[in-house]
Amino acid sequence: MQKRQTQWLSLLAVVLLAGALRIYNLRDVPAGLFCDEAALGYNAHAIATAGMDENGVRFPLFVWSFGVSYKNPLYIYAAALPVKLLGLDEFSIRLTSALFGIGTVIAIFFLGRALFTPWVGLFAALFLAVCPWHLHFSRIAFELISFPFVFIIGLTLLVRFTQGRRTLPAAMFFFGLGPYGYAVADVFVPLFLIGFTVLYLPMLLRRFRESLLAFIVLIATVAPVAVFLYQHPQAGTQYIRNTTNLRAEESVRQQADRLWNYYQQFVSREFLFERGDQIVRHSVRGFGELLPFYAPFLLLGAAVALLKPDRASKLVLWWVAVYPVAPSLMTEIPSASRGFIGAPAFSLLTAIGFASALRALGWAARWRPLALTLQTAAIGVAGYFLVPQVASYLRAYFIEYPKYSAPTYGGFQYGYRDVIHHMESQRSNYDLLMLTATEVNQPQIFPLFYNRVDPRDWHARHDLGYMVLDPSEYGRYSMNQRILYALRPSNLALFTDYTVQREVTAPGGQTEFVIAEVRARKRFLTNWLGLGLFDNAKSQGVAQDFIDVHHLPREPIASMFGPAQWERIQQQFVAVDLNRHFAAADPRTPGNPEWVCAYAVTTVRAPAAQTAYLEVSGSDDQFRFWLNGQTLTGWPMVLSSTPVRRPIQLRAGDNALLVKGCDTIGSWDFVARLTDTDGHDLVEVTTVPELPAPGIEDSAAAQKSVQLVEGFDSIVRFERTNQNYPDYRGGTESWAAGVREPNTELVWRSAPCPAKQSTVLALTASMSDDTGEADMYVNGQRAVSFALGSDRRPRAWSAGEYRVAFVSRTNAAGNSGFLLIQVPAEHVVPGQPLELRVVPVRGHADAWFMVKSYRDTIAHEQITPEAALETLDGAWSERVETRAAH
């Protein structure tokens, strides 16, 4: 009797521990609320208050959400009671997960007791209570937490059936609930039951009537799912189709090899004990899904279960064997969420191993008092190793994890609670409340959640009370009203007049949202014509001129897909999205054209001749710009999200602004704007989507009085050499000098200079990604300093009459491209080479500069005097953002 009381008191202590770990600070850790949590919470609220889901469906079997897939009902209906009693917020919806988690800890005790002994059950409950994998998902409102609970109850009843109880029909009922809990159950439960059937087929046949009744119960339980999928064949299977990694175009062997590779990752040391799932919402950095303490006892438990002369223990091994199958068929490998059913299995095997070790000590001691002493000491030693591991995990989870898991749509989307509460307090002062759609995930669910919107009102009017919109989609909202906008900090760059009311800062110090009253937007160029597509295979199209930029074609011209002509580019956003335009303009192009080039042109109308600034940003692709036929980019320029600008001269009347963009893979867009020196819009300057009048773009640049000379002919001195160092042209003999080696230099000679005039040397070079600074000398005289680093925009430096520019072409074991060096005429001797010397002087210890042995850079890059001087001008630069103070 005392032994039983000790076991029950111990179980109570474990349950209290599990409850404390799962409920403590549940509202704010994890910090933020992911959109899936909010959707489950709102639908639980809708069912609890009105008996309908967010779509107005009365007591639905599955809930259609986000226009993506159905959410399983078990979690939603279970959450309805706590949400109803406590009100809809982060705590009430996550409490459902915590309760399922606590229930699973209790359930595994009974399973361990049924399979082995009460002590195995108790240790299984303890190890599951502190298991990082299980604890993590017991504190997040994800529907997956319900599946292990019903499965373990079903498995316990199944074990009792093998021991003579009439529990098989009840077991099948709980197994049948699996598909209502989580989609992975659709694969896992049938596989598990197949293994059970093989193990116990004689018993099932001997108890035929009970087996038949159990089968009927199972079919009856899952029948509504089958009927639902039959009625909704596309939507009902959309989640699986969106997440499967099976590919019809691959052979069975290829898919089997990939499945085996993925399967192994779910049982790997890295996943289980070292780094876990790399998705930030799914695990804590630096920790595996299990504690290292589990490893030896897990192996011992597997051996005991394998060697034990019964069949029931083999069910645990089969559980572990089939748990990775379903998630291996899906994306996000290895996924802690999709493989979550493995967490209690590993905890149970660990408990079997630990209890077996204690029992072995008892057998070895033979004398009961000594056995108890040894076992107690062993438990103490185990605690000595286990407790610090648990404490370390808890510190990481409760203190560090909220700092990096809270922000961005990849984390827990921190900030919506503060955003909605603040904006609701200001509603009466504004005509329109707006939420950004930039870098967010399903933001429309948060006003419903935090405002606890009556589902009947939502279904009747579908009015969030907010407009959810990317602020760069100018056509969807007007500034002729009072607007309060919750924006990402980067969104503020779209506005010229605004007042920030509040900044929402995540636990790690990151600004997640700025809530601002916006009054005026920047004006971007939105009237463009497009022409393309042209071939950019292997980036060869970057250096080609597919049209004459001085005489734009008026008639259709040859392109990759037949004749092409200028067509209006329809802009939904301020960015000129070339992918979208050309995918829509020509049905023969793929949905996302890749390895192609195209042109865009607009006619800029100015009331008077004036100096202006062209400001551009865009995707990580190469672009060139021309104004009235004159190049604004001496060489293709790689854009980024950071705007750069340069001065331009607008004529009175029409001006032709031409853009060439060459895409590789991914997004392909640019953003253009005209401003004055201070960055203010030129309100009197307009654009039209028309080709300029003939001749406007034909204004040849003045003759450039500069000679081009190959900048490398022979090496003189160097710090280190490499026979075939990689570069954008492939690789060749190379020589380098770096910051790490003091007083080192790199010296080489150019080709002979034909005449005594201003000379531009061109040579292929590379530099480190690490930042630094180097000095350049010409014929022994210090000429100019230049920067080292990974910046891929054309960069230029000058000192007196000397100028240097580096044009990055690609990242190839460093920043690889070519160097232009302008030398004044008085330092040039006809028929003689120039001696160049580079000395890295400061910066990162690993910063370096390298010259290459190519002697044909001018021809290879088709460098012209005009392009060289335009690049050396270094006119493109960033501008510090300014705005009027309010």
**What residues are paired with 784 via a beta bridge?**
776
Q: Model confidence at 882, in pLDDT bands (50, 70, 90)? A: very low
**Distance of alpha carbon 872 from the chain centroid:** 37
Is residue 561 a contact partner of residue 516, using CB atoms and an 8 Å limit?
no
Least confident of 398-402, 465-469, 689-693: 689-693
Mean pLDDT, the chain, rounded, equals 93
Q: Which two tokens stand for residue 261?
A: 């590779």
- The CA distance from 341 to 186, in Å, is 13
Q: Of 830, 713, 700, 705, whose CA–CA distance to 761 is shortest?
A: 713
Residue 100 has pLDDT above 90, yes or no: yes
641 exposure class (CB count in 10 Å sphere: 0-12, 13-18, 19+): exposed
Q: Which two tokens stand for residue 751?
A: 């080709």
More confident of the two residues 702 and 7: 7
- The CA distance from 246 to 545, in Å, is 43
Q: Of 565, 606, 520, 583, whose CA–CA distance to 691 is shortest?
A: 565
Q: Which two tokens stand for residue 475?
A: 């056509």
* 14 backbone φψ class: left, alpha, beta (φ>0; ψ -120 to 50): alpha
Q: Give pLDDT, residue 1.
A: 61
462 exposure class (CB count in 10 Å sphere: 0-12, 13-18, 19+): exposed
Q: How far is CA 547 from CA 126, 449, 552, 581, 871, in A?
A: 73, 55, 7, 20, 22
Q: Which amino acid is at 106?
A: I
**91-96 contacts, C-beta under 8 A, 24 or more apart:** 91/26, 91/27, 92/41, 93/37, 93/38, 93/40, 93/41, 93/44, 93/141, 94/26, 94/27, 94/37, 94/139, 94/140, 94/141, 95/23, 95/26, 96/44, 96/141
Is residue 780 a contact partner of residue 840, using CB atoms and an 8 Å limit?
no
Residue 121 has pLDDT above 60, yes or no: yes
Strand order from edge to edge, sheet including 781-788: 714-717, 746-749, 835-843, 772-778, 781-788
pLDDT digits (tens, 9 = 90+) for 463-522: 999 999 999 999 999 999 999 999 999 999 999 999 999 999 999 999 999 999 999 999
- The mean pLDDT of 209-233, rounded to a whole number, is 95
- The CA distance from 524 to 199, in Å, is 70
Number of H helices, E strands in the chain: 26, 34
Maximum average pLDDT range among 15-24, 373-382, 640-649 = 15-24
Q: Give pLDDT, residue 698.
A: 64
Q: Model confidence at 883, in pLDDT bands (50, 70, 90)? A: very low
Is residue 763 a contact partner of residue 712, using CB atoms and an 8 Å limit?
yes
**Residues ≥6 apart with Cβ < 8 Å to 276:** 132, 133, 282, 283, 284, 287, 288, 289, 336
Residue 369 has pLDDT above 90, yes or no: no
Query: In this structure, is the dihedral angle defined by the CA atoms of residues 700, 706, 710 and 716, taken in order, positive or negative?
Result: negative
Distance between terminal CA atoms of the chain?
A: 78
Alpha helices in 406-547, H assignment, sequence order: 416-425, 445-450, 455-461
Q: Which two tokens stand for residue 83?
A: 């949400």
**What residues are paired with 71 via a beta bridge?**
63
**Residues ≥6 apart with Cβ < 8 Å to 402:** 28, 29, 30, 31, 507, 508
pLDDT digits (tens, 9 = 90+) for 312-329: 999 999 999 999 999 999
- Max Cα–Cα distance, the chain, nearest Å: 109
Q: Which two tokens stand for residue 593?
A: 């054209």
Q: Model confidence at 241, in pLDDT bands (50, 70, 90)? A: confident
pLDDT above 70 covers what percent of the chain? 97
- The CA distance from 636 to 338, in Å, is 45
- ∠ CA(326), CA(329), CA(335), 5° rounding? 70
pLDDT above 90 covers what percent of the chain? 81
Q: Give pLDDT, residue 436.
A: 98
pLDDT digits (tens, 9 = 90+) for 135-149: 999 999 999 999 999
- Element (DSSP H or E) covering residue 334: none
Q: Give pLDDT, residue 604.
A: 97
The helix/strand/coil state of 22 is helix
Query: In this structure, is the dihedral angle defined by the CA atoms of residues 243, 193, 312 and 105, taken in order, positive or negative?
Result: positive
- The mean pLDDT of 718-740, rounded to a whole number, is 92
- The CA distance from 46 to 84, in Å, is 10
- Element (DSSP H or E) covering residue 211: helix 208-231
- The CA distance from 503 to 509, in Å, is 11
Q: How far is CA 189 from CA 78, 108, 131, 193, 486, in A?
A: 21, 17, 23, 6, 45
Q: Of 144, 13, 141, 161, whose CA–CA distance to 79 is shortest?
A: 141
Query: In this structure, is the dihedral angle defined by the CA atoms of residues 560, 566, 569 and 574, taken in order, positive or negative?
Result: positive
DSSP state of 330: B
User: Options 2.30.30, 3.30.750, 2.40.70, 2.60.120; which CATH number does 528-688 get?
Assistant: 2.60.120
Q: Which two tokens stand for residue 2?
A: 């005392």
Q: Give pLDDT, residue 454.
A: 96
- The CA distance from 418 to 426, in Å, is 13
Q: Model confidence at 371, in pLDDT bands (50, 70, 90)? A: confident
Q: What is the pTM of this model?
A: 0.83
Q: Judge if the upstream peptide bond of residue 556 is cis by omega within 30 degrees of 0.
A: no
Q: Model confidence at 588, in pLDDT bands (50, 70, 90)? A: low
Q: Which amino acid is at 780?
A: G
- The CA distance from 419 to 512, in Å, is 10
Residue 590 has pLDDT above 70, yes or no: no
**Distance of alpha carbon 289 from the chain centroid:** 21
Q: Give pLDDT, residue 704.
A: 56
Residue 694 has pLDDT above 90, yes or no: no
Residue 861 has pLDDT above 60, yes or no: yes
**What residues are paired with 760 via a beta bridge?**
708, 822
pLDDT digits (tens, 9 = 90+) for 329-360: 998 899 999 999 999 999 999 999 999 999 98
**Distance of alpha carbon 793 from the chain centroid:** 25
pLDDT digits (tens, 9 = 90+) for 146-193: 999 999 999 999 999 999 999 999 999 999 999 999 999 999 999 999
Q: Give pLDDT, residue 702.
A: 46
**Residues ≥6 apart with Cβ < 8 Å to 524:** 474, 574, 671, 672, 673
Q: Give pLDDT, residue 372.
A: 83
Is residue 177 a contact partner of residue 223, using CB atoms and an 8 Å limit?
no
More confident of the two residues 419 and 237: 419
Is residue 314 a contact partner of residue 307, using CB atoms and an 8 Å limit?
no
Q: Give pLDDT, residue 6.
A: 87
DSSP state of 793: S
Q: Of 266, 273, 286, whose CA–CA distance to 338 is shortest?
A: 266
Q: Give pLDDT, residue 110.
A: 98
528-688 and 707-873 have identical folds: yes
What's the alpha-carbon Rg for the chain, to the nearest Å? 34
Residue 200 has pLDDT above 60, yes or no: yes
Say which residue the tokens 């854009």 belong to.
Answer: 639
Residue 626 has pLDDT above 60, yes or no: yes
Q: Give pLDDT, residue 744.
A: 86
What does the domain layout of the chain look like in residue ranges?
A: 2-405, 416-521, 528-688, 707-873
- The mean pLDDT of 6-12, rounded to a whole number, is 93
Residue 699 has pLDDT above 80, yes or no: no
Other beta carbons less than 10 A from residue 828's beta carbon: 20
Q: Give pLDDT, residue 284.
A: 97
Residue 881 has pLDDT above 70, yes or no: no
- The mean pLDDT of 306-312, rounded to a whole number, is 93
Q: Give pLDDT, residue 483.
A: 98
In CATH terms, the superfamily for domain 707-873 is Galactose-binding domain-like (2.60.120.260)
- The CA distance from 189 to 443, in Å, is 34
